[in-house]
Amino acid sequence: MTGERRVTAMDVARGAGVSRSAVSRAFTPGSPLDAAKRSRILAVAQELGYRPNVLAAGLQGKGRSNLVAVVVGRLHNHFDSDFQAILMEGLARRGKWPLVVAGDPEMIEADILNVLGFPLDALIVRGGSVSAPVVDYCAKLGIPLVVSGRVMAAPRVDCVCGDNAGGAHLAVAALQARGRRRIAYLGGPPQLFSDQERRAGFQAAMAGAGLVPVAEDSADYSFEGGQAAALRLLARAPGLDGLFCGNDAMALGAIAALRDQGRRVPQDISVIGFDDISIAPWPGIDLSTLRNDAAATVAELLRLLETRLEDPSGPARVVRIPTRFIARNTH
């Protein structure tokens, strides 16, 4: 055991017989320092296992901390997992350190406030709602706030979001092209922004096509939720011939339930999902769905972040990622 205290620059200085300033300079590429002395210092540092404490360095006030808080809801959703993975890699590639805030919705609110205690370069929030106090704090602290999967109107808050309404229109159009007229919507939790936009888009598209939904229902974006909701829809509207689901997991659950009830998909009923998760194209699944492009979303998010860091006081921007219909074998 080397003792409880962390190795400090002073220890290295003593070990190499130089001043602490020299140690600091040895780790700062531009600084003037005798080459021989530098290599000796680095050798001693290596020996002792010394690394400059980036927190103490960041305290200097100059430059950025490279610390970015990433708020994710619960990650038990396939699309959110993919999004998260791509975002982590993207941040790493840009030299940012992601500080992840996860957990129950009720805990997360307090945690967001707590994470603001770090000298963050930015706060990235995925999906779930951001409370007014958080937005307020960010504004006062001058911490850029970038929101994904949701659009909110606040000064200097940037948003990137899939085109939910457009996707819903594409889904209705695809169902209509198959001759479906008794169409239902199975949405996610109504308090979620994504569901609100998809539901509104669905209703608008139906109205535009001169159709009236035979039923609407909600579940929790899970497979099991989709199964149960499909049974409810079927009981309420036995003539159902088209179903637009708020995400892929629920669509797959619904298909399982419908087939279990003796309905053939897609012959008797068309089902369309949302997201195009990685398993959607697998044989035996082959789900017709709307592609929610996680990679493009992350790329735009990072671009927004970079622009915002460049010019913190610029106007708030909203970027919509286009949605594409992926025709497979369930509609």
Partner DNA sequence: CCCGTATCTGAACACGTGTGCATGATGACC
Partner DNA sequence: GGTCATCATGCACACGTGTTCAGATACGGG
Q: Which residues bind its own copies (CB under 8 A)?
A: 1-7, 48-49, 51-56, 58-59, 61, 65, 70, 72, 74-76, 81-82, 84-85, 88-89, 92-93, 97-104, 107, 111, 113, 115-119, 136-137, 139-142, 223, 252-253, 256, 259-260, 278-279, 282-285, 312-313
* Cα–Cα dist 191/186, whole Å: 14
* Cα–Cα dist 315/237, whole Å: 48
Residue 256 binding target from its own copies, DNA, none, CB below 5 to 8 Å by type: its own copies
Segment near DNA (CB under 7 A); pick from 17-25, 86-94, 151-159, 292-300:
17-25
Instruction: For residue 180, give the nearest of 162, 206, 200 by alpha carbon.
Output: 206
With binding defined as CB under 7 A, does residue 2 bind DNA? no
Residue nearer to DNA on the CB measure, 5 or 93: 5
For the CB of residue 52, give the shortest distance to its own copies in the complex, in Å. Answer: 6
Report whether 71 contacts 146 (CB < 8 A): no
Instruction: For residue 251, give the nearest of 292, 216, 196, 288 by alpha carbon.
Output: 288
Residue nearer to its own copies on the CB measure, 7 or 296: 7
Residue 106 binding target from its own copies, DNA, none, CB below 5 to 8 Å by type: none
Residues pairing with 159 in the sheet: 147, 318
Report whether 190 contacts 219 (CB < 8 A): no
Segment near DNA (CB under 7 A); pick from 26-34, 84-92, 126-134, 237-245:
26-34
For the CB of residue 199, give the shortest distance to its own copies in the complex, in Å. Answer: 25
* Cα–Cα dist 134/154, whole Å: 12
Residues pairing with 147 in the sheet: 125, 159
For the CB of residue 250, give the shortest distance to DNA in the complex, in Å. Answer: 46
With binding defined as CB under 7 A, does residue 39 bind DNA? no
Size of the site for DNA (CB under 7 A): 30
Pairing state of beta strands 324-326 and 215-218? unpaired
Instruction: Show the 3-state SS of 82-94.
Output: HHHHHHHHHHHHC
Report whether 159 contacts 147 (CB < 8 A): yes
* Cα–Cα dist 180/250, whole Å: 20
Instruction: For residue 208, give the nearest of 261, 249, 172, 158 by alpha carbon.
Output: 172
For the CB of residue 38, give the shortest distance to DNA in the complex, in Å. Answer: 7
Applying CB under 7 A, among 14, 37, 320, 328 the residue interacting with DNA is 37
Residue nearer to DNA on the CB measure, 42 or 204: 42
Structure tokens belonging to residue 10: 């002073």
Task: Please tell me whether residue 320 adopts helix, strand or coil conformation.
Answer: strand
Structure tokens belonging to residue 20: 């602490």
Residue nearer to its own copies on the CB measure, 30 or 155: 155
Report whether 48 contacts 13 (CB < 8 A): no
With binding defined as CB under 7 A, does residue 19 bind DNA? yes
For the CB of residue 212, give the shortest distance to DNA in the complex, in Å. Answer: 58
Lay out the site mask for DNA across 46-85 (x = CB under 7 A, - = otherwise).
----xxxx--xx-xxxx-----------------------
For the CB of residue 132, give the shortest distance to its own copies in the complex, in Å. Answer: 13
With binding defined as CB under 7 A, does residue 34 bind DNA? yes
What is the Cα 113 distance to its own chain's centre? Answer: 19
Using CB under 7 A as the criterion, which residues of the chain lie in contact with DNA when the complex forms? Answer: 5-6, 8-10, 18-25, 27-28, 31-34, 37, 50-53, 56-57, 59-62
